[in-house]
């Protein structure tokens, strides 16, 4: 075990991933480095990759649920969450488990988890505000949001949060509602602008300014994300529609301002 494993008194846990796509793989590498025992199940076959990472992969969700996890981490797409959860035979759980989601919206998974999970299951809603690109060089000073929705076993919850604390994350406890309100103004708007720039097919030029280089980077980062993520950010954050309208109105105001300035300048010239 590396010298950084289980730092800040983080106790080794058994953590099971439901969904093992790019973001889950990104998290799992740090979890493994810290000394936690990982299991995973997913619709796609990640058995070879998991074997390389030292993770037990289960093709069948029933055997995954039999694996005696302390934590079950939900890392599905936003859109597939209800279907995935409702398809799981949760009665196979041997003990109360902490369920953690890492989705980019929060009110939606909170309600689904409360509806579907057994009453004895603890629920922690989280959003690591970083990913494989922004967190590639470490997680120090990167934001990690969480809400303790239903927690009885404080030790398990605390140990899970220490995974991120020990990596230097900025820990932000807030309600799922407040998260979604803020995320609509930040993450969703970033994705909306990046998608718009993608539709414009902007690319680097020989005379790029620093500002334009930043826009290209935003476009490239956003376009590397799935359309399902962007759709989920819009469909399942009730504040997103208003922010999209605000963006549209702002662009219209900018256009009208430019037209007005142009007309006034032309009138001065004609005089």
pLDDT of residue 144: 98
Asked if the model's pLDDT at residue 236 lies above 80, the reply is yes
The residue from 130, 151, 174 where one domain ends is: 174
Q: Confidence band (pLDDT; 50, 70, 90) for 11?
A: confident
Domain identity same for 90 and 224: no
Residues 85-142 have pLDDT tens digits of 999 999 999 899 999 999 999 999 999 999 999 999 999 999 999 999 899 999 999 9
The stretch 61-78 carries a mean pLDDT of 96
Tell whether 74 and 193 lie within a shared domain.
no
From 136, 158, 174, the end of a domain falls on 174
Cα dihedral across residues 154, 160, 165, 166: positive or negative: positive
270 lies in some domain: no
> Sheet containing 56-58: which strands, arranged edge to edge?
56-58, 37-41, 14-18, 71-74, 98-101, 122-128, 143-150, 170-173
pTM tops 0.85: yes
Give the mean pLDDT of the chain.
95
In a domain, 271, yes or no: no
Band of residue 159 on the pLDDT scale cut at 50, 70, 90: very high
For residue 260, the domain's CATH number is 1.10.3660
Count of Cβ atoms closer than 10 Å to residue 235 Cβ: 14
Both 168 and 187 in one domain: the answer is no
Reference 242, options 175, 192, 171, 174; nearest CA is: 192
2 pLDDT more than 60: no
Separate counts of helices (H) and strands (E) for the chain: 11, 8
Residue 1 lies in a domain: no
**Is 257 inside any structural domain?**
yes
Mean per-residue pLDDT, 191-217: 97
pLDDT score of 173 more than 50 = yes
CATH number at residue 153: 3.40.50.720
Cα dihedral sign, 148-154-157-161 = positive
Q: Using the 3D structure, point to which of 155, 174, 193 is the last residue of a domain.
A: 174
How many independent structural domains does the chain possess? 2
Considering the domain boundaries, does residue 127 fall inside one?
A: yes
Q: Does residue 223 sit within a domain?
A: yes
DSSP string, 138-203: --TT-EEEEEEEE-S-HHHHHHHHHHHHTTT-EEEE--HHHHHHHHIIIIIHHHHHHHHHHHTT--
Over residues 148-171, mean pLDDT: 98
Token readout for 168 is 């230097």
Q: Does residue 157 share a domain with residue 90? A: yes
| Same domain, residue pair 191 and 162 | no
Say whether pLDDT at 71 is over 50: yes
Domain carrying residue 241:
179-265
The answer on pLDDT for 3 being more than 80 is: no
Residues 108 and 211 in one domain: no
Q: Quick one: pLDDT at residue 10?
A: 63
198 with 170, same domain: the answer is no
Q: In whole angstroms, what is the distance from residue 171 CA to residue 234 CA?
A: 25
Q: Residue 2 falls within a domain, yes or no?
A: no
Do 131 and 210 lie in one domain? The reply is no
Token pair, residue 100, equals 């953690």
State the Cα–Cα distance between residues 11 and 9, nearest whole angstrom: 6
Judge if 250 and 128 occupy the same domain: no
Q: Do 97 and 29 fall within a single domain?
A: yes
| Judgement on whether residues 132 and 183 belong to the same structural domain of the protein | no
Question: What is the C-alpha end-to-end distance of the chain, expressed in Å?
Answer: 80
Are 213 and 100 in the same domain?
A: no
Identify the pLDDT of residue 271.
74
Distance CA 175, CA 197 (A): 32
Question: Looking at the domain assignment, is residue 90 inside a domain?
Answer: yes
């Amino acid at each position: 075990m590396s010298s950084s494993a289980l730092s800040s008194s983080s106790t080794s846990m058994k953590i099971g991933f439901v969904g093992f796509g790019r973001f889950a793989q990104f998290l799992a590498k740090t979890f493994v480095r810290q000394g936690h025992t990982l299991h995973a199940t997913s619709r796609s076959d990640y058995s070879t990759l998991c074997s390389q990472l030292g993770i037990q992969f289960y093709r069948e969700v029933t055997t995954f649920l039999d694996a005696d996890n302390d934590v079950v981490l939900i890392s599905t797409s936003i859109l597939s969450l209800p279907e995935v959860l409702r398809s799981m035979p949760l009665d196979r759980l041997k003990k109360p488990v902490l369920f953690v989601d890492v989705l980019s919206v929060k009110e939606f998974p909170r309600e689904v988890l409360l509806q579907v999970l057994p009453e004895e299951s603890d629920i922690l809603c989280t959003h690591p505000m970083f990913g494989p690109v922004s967190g590639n060089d470490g997680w120090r000073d990167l934001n990690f949001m969480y809400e303790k929705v239903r927690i009885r076993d404080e030790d398990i919850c605390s140990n899970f949060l220490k995974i991120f604390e020990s990596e230097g994350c900025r820990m932000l406890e807030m309600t799922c509602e407040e998260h979604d309100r803020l995320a609509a103004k930040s993450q969703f708007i970033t994705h909306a602008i990046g998608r718009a720039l993608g539709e414009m097919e902007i690319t680097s030029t020989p005379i790029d300014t620093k500002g334009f280089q930043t826009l290209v980077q935003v476009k490239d980062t956003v376009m590397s994300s799935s359309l399902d993520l962007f759709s989920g950010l819009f469909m399942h954050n009730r504040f997103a529609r208003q922010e999209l309208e605000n963006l549209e109105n702002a662009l219209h105001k900018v256009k009208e301002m430019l037209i007005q300035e142009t007309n006034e300048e032309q009138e001065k010239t004609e005089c």
